[in-house]
Structure 1
Amino acid sequence: MARRALVMIEGTRSSRHYAQEVERLGLHPIILSANPSRFDNLAGESIRVDTGNLDALIHECSRLLATQGLAGITSPSESANGTVGKLCHHFGLPGPNPTSIERCCDKFTQRQLLAEAGVPIPAYRMATNAKEVERSAAEIGLPAIVKPAADTGGSSGVRLCRRLDELAEHTTYLFGEKHVWQSSPRILIEEFVDGPQYMAETMGNELITIGTMDFGPPPHFVYREWTIPAPLTVDEYERIAEVSLSCLRALGLGWGPTDIELRWTERGPVVIEVNPRLGGWAVPQLVRLAHGIDLVTEHIKLVIAEELDLRSRQSQTAAVRFLVAERDGTLDWITGGSQAAAVSGVADVKFYVEPKTPIDLKGDYRDCIGHVVATSPTPAQAAATLQHAVDLIDWSITPFPTLGE
């Protein structure tokens, strides 16, 4: 008898983990994608579908329902979760509220709803042309954060503008041809709130953990290091937890995973962004190493209406350091991965690019060329292990030839 299908719409770096867990739970993973060749090396199968066409997705899911049964529908990708919600509603399956997801993914609407609920957020404005950007920045004051109002993920298109010339340059970039918009261009201008940055990971209405986030130097926000759990006092933990759960209520996100980014300021925790998905990249791995909770597995169990188990099973510190390219050019070589992986306490070493790959810095997650994950009983040990492993890795990037060479 054919196993029931669990359908995933498009995917991210977490797709492999999702597919493996779907298989382990005795289901057949099927990825519906506009470019299924991206997932050829994953468990299960991938099918070409126009994932921007709801009717086409309903047709394909109906076919799967008739031929092998449909256990559930989900996606690791935030951009597909609104569609997932609509499909789940159509087929009577557990899933997120599509309206809540779509409102949350619109950063301007998200901020309106958070402000109405009294959640602490930065001052903000929205602009649809250069004059409105300049006027909004004057009202809020520089330095200010300037970014697309539609969520693009990974800090893509996000920049700290400290002077008028930086503001004009980034405005030109966002309204130009280099930045890809999925809808009409809208820019969000926000007050820059400084302070340590944290991430709160939730499932349903339950807070799972709080971690720290560290970025490279401004004006961009390129990932540098994440640590779970964050070293917080009882008061700090309770205040971040309270604000995080208030975000879920304000945005109607009481189903599935949510990743909330905050900064600790003079007025306490201020919400930077709410993402209706699992935390990016290595976050599920860090949670699993630190607490023994597999968020991917629990998310899939939620999708197929099985009982969750979100109890912490262990108490470790897990941290990831991202390897970030420092210049444009061609990656000549990258070495030391096996030596770093052999360090006691290192859980994972991964390089994202191969030698001879062109490197074109974007000022976002695409500048990361690899990562190292370490786990230890204490934050100090985890940090030392991570640094020791990273020191064993080296690479070389040859700059691109300049005009005339």
Structure 2
Amino acid sequence: MHEHADRPLLVLVASGRQEYREDALASIARRFRVHLIEGAEPTWQRPYLDSYDVVPGFEETTLIPLGQRLAGQRTVAGVVCWDEARILPATVLADTLGLPSAGTEAVRCCRDKYATRKRLAEHGAPQPRFALVSDVDGAREAARRIGYPLVLKPRSAAASLGVVRVEGEQELNEQFTFASGASISGAPQHQDPVLLEEFVGGAEVSVDSLVEDGAATPLFVARKSVGFAPFFEETGHEVSSHDPLLDDPEFTQVIKKIHHALDFGWGWTHVEMKLTERGPVLVEVNARIGGDLIPRLAYLAHGIDAADLVADAVRGIRQPLPQPTPTARRPVVAASRFLYPDQDDVVVESVAFDETALPAGIDRAVVLTEPGAHLRLPPEGLFSGRAALISVTAEDSRSAHEVLDIASDALRLHVSDRKGRSAESPLPNTSSKECAH
């Protein structure tokens, strides 16, 4: 624990996985004392913490009394959360303590994909046609109205869990249980659990925006690689310092319309969009900073520290926004890739990067698994089947992906199947620009 009484105190609800969120925690700890509310004893988080509480769950009935007790002892400046499963109770806590936040109703709407669709439909925001269904008979009826191909998705899950593309009625019958049964801890349960959506073609991107008292400012765009069709595993991202979407008035106007429709107050959003022939179309809205390595890529490409900006937003403080990248500055493309075994249902025997084979331009090459771990590919292992991650920087997209290819070959992953047969596992070509939801 560290005593820095001169610095404001932030409450962080759930820290996330170290490989993805340590940068964010380290960032807010530079200017603030951090009180962590976590589900287990902190380990890697300890150097960044002033204090912490371990809770059996993140329900509102647990967080509110804990937060009120803390606020009675110390001055709490704000509540931060970048964990999708915990963002709603964290927002309720902030509102209960009278602190700036996105607003409970806005976050509740973001966590419920159907509620998002209804709210945006009322405001004329561009989005796919959709229907809410409770069973496979209702899904078939809705599919006949909307037309195939379709996307099935759980109403309140996250991280593409339960999301699948279906081309016809037979696939809909086969995949409905997959979509209706997917859930995350703390997600609300619904009588009508599945959202049916029109599949729209085009590249998928995400845009992260700072929101100050309802005014949204898009700050960076990540272009996605998605694989393992018909499922929607995000296999990598790319952020450019000169992405033209940030200067596209139609794109930025859609982003502002979405936030206005949601009546989003203070904080940050990660909005997923499809770039279609009819213009940008909304996929979903998340009330947090981007996941995976997206904030890291934004820092490398733009010099933007998302967590640092969020820390001021949750205190209701406006700060000078990062200036647009000067056109004279050398372009920077930052990209990431996740590496997987080439077959499903394997046990890791050994895994490491050959450091001598890693090329120039590498930012990070990190192993995500360990010997003895059981790796499953999607759909059973959505995002948990990743063996390693790589992030790189380069002057353009083509060069960045060339570095990623070389770095991928430096991973030495040895696995065995259920029968104990061992082999070095080459990495599958999982990237697909067309398979996106």
1:24, 1:230 → 2: CA distance? 25
Distance 1:32 1:106, change over 3 A: same
Equivalent position of 1:347 in the other structure: 363
Which residue type is aligned with residue 68 of structure 1?
A: R
1:90, 1:55 → 2: CA distance? 12
2:170, 2:345 → 1: CA distance? 23
1:373, 1:32 → 2: CA distance? 29
Is residue 2:111 matched to residue 1:105? yes
Deviation at residue 100 of structure 1 after TM alignment:
0.6
Equivalent position of 1:360 in the other structure: 376
Match of 1:281 among 284, 292, 316: 292
Equivalent position of 1:125 in the other structure: 131
Deviations 1:348-371 (A, max 9, x none): 112211122011234222232221
Which residue type is aligned with residue 334 of structure 1?
A: V
| Kept after mapping to 2: 8 A contact 1:94/1:304 | yes
TM-score (norm 2): 0.83
Equivalent position of 1:223 in the other structure: 234
Which residue type is aligned with residue 65 of structure 2?
A: H
Distance 1:70 1:176, change over 3 A: closer
Which residue type is aligned with residue 15 of structure 2?
A: G
Is residue 2:402 matched to residue 1:384? yes
Which residue type is aligned with residue 5 of structure 1?
A: L
Deviations 1:329-351 (A, max 9, x none): 112222325346x5221111122
Equivalent position of 1:311 in the other structure: 322
Deviates more, 1:215-224 or 1:62-71: 62-71
| Kept after mapping to 1: 8 A contact 2:246/2:252 | no
Is residue 2:387 matched to residue 1:369? yes
Deviates more, 1:390-399 or 1:91-100: 390-399
Q: What does 1:124-163 align with in structure 2 at a 5 Å threshold?
A: 124-150=130-156, 152-163=157-168
Deviates more, 1:276-285 or 1:359-368: 359-368
Is residue 2:207 matched to residue 1:200? yes
Deviations 1:176-207 (A, max 9, x none): 59987641351011111111111111111111
| Kept after mapping to 2: 8 A contact 1:261/1:271 | yes
1:357, 1:51 → 2: CA distance? 26
Q: What does 1:2-401 align with in structure 2 at a 5 Å threshold?
A: 3=5, 5-13=9-17, 14-27=20-33, 29-33=34-38, 35-37=39-41, 39-43=42-46, 44=49, 45-150=51-156, 152-175=157-180, 182-184=188-190, 186-204=193-211, 205-229=216-240, 237-312=248-323, 315-326=331-342, 327-336=344-353, 338-339=355-356, 342-363=358-379, 364-401=382-419
Deviations 1:266-320 (A, max 9, x none): 2121111111111111111011000001001111122234443431466521111
Deviation at residue 20 of structure 1 after TM alignment:
1.8
Distance 1:217 1:206, change over 3 A: same
SS of the equivalent of 1:24 reads helix
2:36, 2:246 → 1: CA distance? 43
**Taking CA–CA contacts closer than 8 Å with sequence separation of 6 or more, which of the two structures ends up with the larger relative contact order?**
2
Which residue type is aligned with residue 32 of structure 1?
A: I
1:50, 1:178 → 2: CA distance? 19
Give unmatched runs, 5+ long, in structure 1.
none
| Kept after mapping to 2: 8 A contact 1:262/1:272 | yes
| Kept after mapping to 2: 8 A contact 1:5/1:64 | no
State the Cα RMSD in Å: 2.5
2:89, 2:245 → 1: CA distance? 39
| Kept after mapping to 2: 8 A contact 1:32/1:47 | yes
Deviations 1:207-238 (A, max 9, x none): 10222111114101111221112876579833
Deviation at residue 85 of structure 1 after TM alignment:
2.4
Distance 1:172 1:62, change over 3 A: closer
| Kept after mapping to 2: 8 A contact 1:9/1:51 | no
Give unmatched runs, 5+ long, in structure 2.
421-437
Distance 1:175 1:100, change over 3 A: closer
Deviation at residue 83 of structure 1 after TM alignment:
2.1
TM-score (norm 1): 0.90
Which residue type is aligned with residue 115 of structure 2?
A: T
SS of the equivalent of 2:206 reads strand
SS of the equivalent of 1:367 reads coil
| Kept after mapping to 2: 8 A contact 1:328/1:397 | no
Distance 1:254 1:95, change over 3 A: closer
Distance 1:80 1:234, change over 3 A: closer
Deviations 1:118-160 (A, max 9, x none): 111111111111211221222222221011011x221111011
| Kept after mapping to 1: 8 A contact 2:223/2:237 | yes
Deviation at residue 395 of structure 1 after TM alignment:
1.6
Distance 1:367 1:140, change over 3 A: farther
Distance 1:154 1:72, change over 3 A: same
1:287, 1:337 → 2: CA distance? 27
Deviates more, 1:171-180 or 1:244-253: 171-180
2:182, 2:308 → 1: CA distance? 40
